[in-house]
Structure 1
Amino acid sequence: EERAVADRLRRQGYLADTGHLTAAMLDNAQRKASASIARRDRRGYEAARSVSDLRRLHLLLDLLRCQGMEVAKAFLDRQAAKSGDDRKKAGRLLDRPAVRQLRDSLDVTAELHPKPHAVERLLEARHREKTDTKTLVFTEYRDTVDRLVERLSLSEHLSPIPFVGQSKTGERRGMTQKEQVAQIDAFRRGEANVLIATSVGEEGLDIPAADLVVFYEPVASAVRAIQRRGRTGRHADGEVVMLVAEGTRDAHMLRASASRERRMMEHLRRLGRTRRLHEFGVEADPLAAFEVNTEDTTIAASRFVEEERARLRPTAVEPEPEPQAPAVEKSTPRPGTVRPEERRHPEQASLFGWEKPAQEPKPGQRPEAKRRDAPLVLDGRANTRAIDAMGAMEIILDRREASSTLAAGLRARGIKPVFRHLVTGDVRIGPRLLLERKTAKDLHASVRDGRLLSQVRRLAAAAPRAGLLLETGSGLEGATHPNAVHGALAWMAFDLGVSVICVKNAEESAAFLALAARRELAWLDALENAQPTKPEDDVHRALMAAQHALEEEDRLGGMNERWTSASRRRRTALLEAIDGVGPITAAALAESFESIAALANASAEDLASESGIGAARAAEVHRALHG
């Protein structure tokens, strides 16, 4: 059930195309469905319902795998008790055939999960050996708290009490602060020796130290794990036990928590080795430990600096007055007077007399236009075969595009995308085309942080034909100044020769990529057809000639003649066994037809014309063969 719903969401482009499922992926799918609804896309409503159903199925499976059958049964019972709008959502889960069958099985089957039994055996043994032992059990779910309290209360050595938060979930209310304090006091006084708590018991409350802390399941947060472990070993040695169901979410949580805790401890160690700025002392005279050797003597560095400052200090000098040049009277020409340098040369006939005469073009043949052996393909529909889902032309998408709706758009157009790790670019089509896909928001962010320059340079160097597929949405407006964005696009197009293709959204991107793929395939076909046929290789011709000579020798040899005669005699003997066929007729038929099968498939007219036995005799033979 879970796999079927998840596959449907993956085909629609709402869920990442991966082999696993996490809560973060479900949240991302829910956001995409909400965005589709905001765009008035009807598919968004169906996707939102599917995500809601998938979330409940995923939680149910996690409870079965990591918590136990009784906890899963309690979850289903609470779903059945809901009313109103929640009842409609829960009804879709409960009406599934697999879930109905599971509920029937849980009603008649005892607990099979090993965790509840392991907790019961562990606490029973510890409290039997040491009666004053205090145990703290942490779990994520209130249903698990209730089931453990019921199970452990049956033991004479254990007196468990619950400890949950104050929030109310549906019809179930939490504990008030007064009730929480009462439970802690009972655990401190020894009235209860087992405190089963949710995450509310990790911090913020004065819970007494315990001798044993049990993790019913691992937690991914390193801080939470440390806080839980810190509830034991305060005044004496304590013990921590963590329960992990192999091959489930528990194993992933354990690895994540251990990795994060290692990184946190390494960071703390680095901080411990790092000295703060105030820890570095500042000496009164930093040059006291240095000396300067001059030609005559050796002096302290601080004294040398003072002497050099005094020597190089500039002195005030009064500027000398600049000599004034004698005034020169400028002669102003009278109106109508022309100076000699302004006079026209006697050989100049006009204002344009000094220009070079235009050279007339020499008569000659016009250059021939470039021949094109193959027609130009504009839309990919001419002289090309369609791209099917098996990928006659592959469209390779980077793995980061697995969570986008682009893959779903390509599948809707009959193209199955192939996800691979692309070092440069997001989409590759054939050996020539490489595209970087960006939204308007991504473009503004790339311009601001300077990533765009290096990205486009790598893109232009990685493929013969590079391009930027820009999804503008409602426009290119953003937080960056328009001049910066337009300048970046102009630099890409004119300086680097990178094509800039603007589309509206992912759907138009899919349509453009499908068309580009068909056009590229047509180009490859035209290029292949335009290649001149290569002459046969000399060695290949020699081998073919030798093979032909051997076949001819076998055909004309004596052994071949003996095989042919023997086959003819066998055919004649078989034909003579047929009623109405004599030796002469059988010999004529065996000579004319190479096999009995060829003779049986021939018509009466063919028998007469090929063997010359006559039409009447041929009709009799045909009736004898076919009845």
Structure 2
Amino acid sequence: MLFNKDKLNLRLYQQTILNSASSQNTLVVLPTGLGKTHIAIALSNSRLKDASKILILAPTKPLALQHMNTFSEFFEPQEELCLLTGEVAPAERKELWSNSKIIFSTPQTIRNDMIYGQINLKDVSLIVFDEAHRAVGDYAYVFIAENYVKQTPNSRILALTASPGSDEYKVDEVCKNLFIKKIEYRSRENIEVKEYVKEIEVTYKSVTLPDEIIAIKSRLERAAQERLSKLKQYGFVKTDKLDGVTKKALLYLQLTLRKQFHSKNFAVARGISVCASIIKLRHMISLVESESLAALNSYFESMWEEERTTKIKSVKDVVNDVNVRAAYTLTRNALENNLENPKLELLKEIVQEQMSLKAASKILVFTEYRANIPKILSVLSDLPMDTHHFIGQGKKGMNQKTQAEVIEKFREGYLNCLVCTSVAEEGLDIPQVDLIVLYTPVPSAIKNIQRRGRTGRQEIGKTIILMASNTADQRYAFIARRKERKMDDIINTLSENKKTFEKVPVAETLDNYTTQKTALVFADSREHGAVIDHLYKSGINVKVGQLKAGDFIISEDIGVERKTTGDFVNSLIDKRLFEQAQKMKQNFVKPIYIIEGKSEDLFSVRNVDSRAILGAMVSLIVDWQLPVIFSRNPEETADIIANLAKREQFDRNKKVSVRFEQKPKILTEQQQYFIEGLPNIGPTAARNLLKHFKTPRSVTNASLDGLKEVEGIGTILAEQIRKLLDEEYKD
């Protein structure tokens, strides 16, 4: 490819970072707007050899597309740059991968194509992981990095982020998961970058909640306090002070109590429900003190609507509480009297002042809850400017195309203000803004740094943080500041001490893959996640499609239905368990159930009598003659499936075939597909029938006795087939 090197002018700090990244896997921590992408462009050019490829990964399609547009200014021909997302058909993605030199994609797409054999990373000489702080847990970045280093001897990783986090363990995890050898960190105060950034003026502005709102808050706190006192009375918590118990602690307590539910202890059962009630009440308190009465009222209405039809005890408990009902009445009265959280009026004044200083101002307003956005938009609608919401893709959200259109209008000046949720934090090409308002403080260093980084590039930037006095707002603002200082100390220490991050992949070369036998497993397309990841790592060839029964097909005889402990109990409750068991028996000679998770969780995930759960398991084993295997986690499930596949296919020479819900094109496959449509006929029985009768016509014309001569076709099955073929169709 041709590279326009005259167009790329790296600053001194970028050149220094590039030198490190050229020789070792590097995590680059730079404030937003200081040219992380240009470092990636320069490194891509140096790593791009005749037969090699460069892979640029970003969490979202708009961000990946943004990177491709930036790279296209420096590399030619354009045809050798491509964007791969789930919207592109798999066959087309495979061809694009083969014909391209620089590929831009989301990690989920690359992970899936790796697992399904569409692509191989052996020719990739560099992977860039943007927003690298995401490389924790089971995020696809972790899977890709591990297999890339494992498959590619000459691998190189460049990780980019503005803020890796304030938890040393998490920063360490990111570095280990991405096989980082060097951290290059420059804060805004660093002497190398100071001349390229402008000061960001951070101002905290407080409001005092009026008595009417304090009265609502007090009612909700009283309701929550009563329930917290019950938890203390039961011995589940040590304090009855709301500030002393976090939401995280309540969720953990709830999980712990669920594991004890089968003990028949009344306090345990009551404690689970009380925890759920407190969590709902704390959310209401957060809405009233930090967001708006309109958002709180909307939540009240949804709760009241849900209470009419639900059987969930915590919903009924909260809705029927006298203090909650009083709070609802007070909220409606306040709204009827045009009373609202004073942060709204303060926000309006701040934005109005900014627009008076500069008519073409660009402003971002961040709020934590989507439910509060309509009220903010309504308040700002009186001002002589154009405002729009900017939210994620969840339920009733904005799709990526709409997001891109809104950003473009904002960039071009058709919009002055965006009211955003957290979707505007990461990487998206939102231009330099004049003012950022954090309507809701958040106790997160990453969020604060990313939000603030949208300003203070070419001109002095302004960030204003709104707080309601004597509320969680003040506490969260303090925590965020403390975490930022802690993050700065952690990154400085790690980079200065040149700490090594040990995560050594299993030594495996490409030659090992080609010389070893490879077992084949068919997986249902709805079966994503850790199990398939670990099958891939085990060297299993995974083919994916929509299966008519089971989650995995091991051989012509064996099919596996995988259920987590929660899935198992849920399928018992909604009566799917034995319907699925029947389908498994009809389609496989040797069906197997795998129940994944801790055995004690079976009795804690839902409020189901332990005797019913044990009875269902006994029925599967005795009545349905279905073996049930327990596994502790997805890795163990994958190991079981891999061992079954190798035993069946290598030791017993069993074939593996599948009837995906997509009609085959080869004549013999079409014939088998046709016969498999008969009652309770799976792949093995279909082949036996065709081998015996030679043609599908002969199968359908066969007598009852003739059908019974075929291996695996008994009297009942033969009668079912003849009944289907002989009985008159009735519309």
Greater relative contact order, per chain length (Cα 8 Å cut-off, separation 6+): 2
Larger Rg: 1
Normalised by the length of structure 2, the TM-score is 0.36
Q: Which has the higher strand share?
A: 2
